[in-house]
Amino acid sequence: MSFLIQSGFLQSGPVQHALIVGGIAAVVAAVVGVPTLIRGQAFASDALAHVSTAGGALAPLIGVNALTGFVLMALAAGGMLEAVPVRDRAERDLLTGIVLGAGLGLAALFLSLGVTLPGASGATVGVLFGSVFLLGADDLVPALTAGGLALVLLMAFLRPILLAALDPDLARVSGVRLRLTGAVHLACLTLAVGLAAMTVGAILSTALIVTPAATAIALTARPGQSLLVAAGLGLAGTWGGLLIAYDSYVWTNGHAWPASFCIVTALCVLHFGLTGGLSLLRHLRGGKVRR
């Protein structure tokens, strides 16, 4: 046990902050991830996450906190994706890619301007891959506010968001206002991107949104259940990853593995382990295919 949980894990202040912010990020991102994946928007959520890099890099230049920067830039990119009309899926993917490229170009500029600021060494890596153990007590209030807001919005709009994702035509007939629902979904997605970027960095925040949701959708067919499963998996992967990152400091004699690497790997191991186990189980039962 003392090998698995190195001493002082839960007593350490930075670890407590990381567990709180990471936990909020994991739950919000996983819950938003389920309808996002059902709508086939894995690429769009990845694009928002990557573009938010530019916001995180701009934040210290204009003196706002990183979370605000991440969320505002993701919101700008999401607004652009919604505003430009597209004909089909290939065209939408193309537009997503173009916005992604332009946003990353901006990120390159802001990051290169940022390294000239005094005391900015390591800022590049912090924005891109996160620095979750460097979060302070003053990061908790914005994270809790953003997380609470996203969860309240999601709970209030859960049925229309899921219905619009599963069957847009049925949703329209049953009186769901698709534009409003889409806007709320986008707002929740950008908040999730921002929180995930604080935890694992802007470039990896896709992992918190896509991976647990993908595992949950593969495991259960019911949307309601998959929300709970995704949240549980997200929490398990994030907290497990934080623990491994903390332990790795001792295991490797001070050359700790990056926390975001540990979190992403834990989430992917959960994904491949559970989905692989499930298909093995089905195979052993005689190759019955569900649905």
Partner 1 sequence: MIAGIFTSSWIAGSIVAAMAGVVGFFVVLRGASFAAHALPLCAFPALAAAHLFGLDPLGTALAFALAGAATISAIGQGTRRDIASAIWLVLMLALGELFLSRMHSYARAVYGLLFGQLLGVTPADLHLIAGVGILAALLILLTFRPLLLSTLAPELAVAAGVPPRLVEFLFLALLALASSAALPAVGALLCFSLMVGPASAARHLFDRPTAALAASVALSLLTVWGALLLSSATGWPASLFVGAGGLALYLAPRARSFRSLVRA
C-alpha to C-alpha distance for 5 and 146, rounded to whole angstroms: 30
Which ranges of the chain would DSSP assign to H, the alpha helix?
13-38, 42-62, 66-83, 89-114, 123-129, 140-156, 158-166, 168-173, 178-200, 205-219, 223-251, 259-284
- Closest-CA residue to 72 (of 245, 250, 197): 197
Nearer to partner 1, 142 or 162 (CB): 162
Q: Binder to partner 1 among 12, 16, 124, 220 (CB under 8 A)?
A: 124
Query: Which residue, chain included where needed, has tokens 């929300």?
Result: 227
Q: What is the DSSP string of 13-48?
A: HHHHHHHHHHHHHHHHHHHHHHHHHHTT-HHHHHHH
- Closest-CA residue to 53 (of 200, 184, 248, 163): 200
CB of 69 to partner 1, least distance (A): 18
**Other CB atoms within 10 A of residue 84 CB:** 12
CB of 163 to partner 1, least distance (A): 18
Question: Candidates 11-19, 105-113, 155-163, 176-184 — which segment interacts with partner 1 by CB under 8 A?
Answer: 105-113
Q: Does 109 bind partner 1 (CB under 8 A)?
A: yes
Question: Candidates 2-10, 24-32, 108-116, 167-175 — which segment interacts with partner 1 by CB under 8 A?
Answer: 108-116
C-alpha to C-alpha distance for 180 and 143, rounded to whole angstroms: 25
Q: Does 247 bind partner 1 (CB under 8 A)?
A: no
What track of x and - describes contact with partner 1 for positions 186 through 225 (by CB under 8 A)? -----------------xx-xx--xx--x-----------
Name the token pair of 181: 């629902």
Nearer to partner 1, 13 or 97 (CB): 97
Within 13 Å, how many C-alpha atoms sit on residue 99's CB side?
Answer: 28
Q: Does 261 bind partner 1 (CB under 8 A)?
A: yes
Residues in contact with partner 1, counted by CB under 8 A, come to a total of: 54
Question: Candidates 125-133, 153-161, 228-236, 281-289 — which segment interacts with partner 1 by CB under 8 A?
Answer: 125-133
Phi-psi region of 257 (alpha: psi -120 to 50; beta: other; left: phi over 0): beta
Q: Does 106 bind partner 1 (CB under 8 A)?
A: yes
Q: Binder to partner 1 among 73, 74, 128, 242 (CB under 8 A)?
A: 128
Q: Does 94 bind partner 1 (CB under 8 A)?
A: yes
| Rg, Å, the chain Cα set | 19
Q: Does 282 bind partner 1 (CB under 8 A)?
A: no
C-alpha to C-alpha distance for 243 and 259, rounded to whole angstroms: 9
Q: Does 40 bind partner 1 (CB under 8 A)?
A: yes
Residues at the contact surface with partner 1, assessed by CB under 8 A:
37, 40, 42-43, 45-46, 50, 84-85, 89-90, 93-109, 111-112, 115, 121-125, 128-129, 203-204, 206-207, 210-211, 214, 255, 257-258, 260-261, 264-265, 268, 271
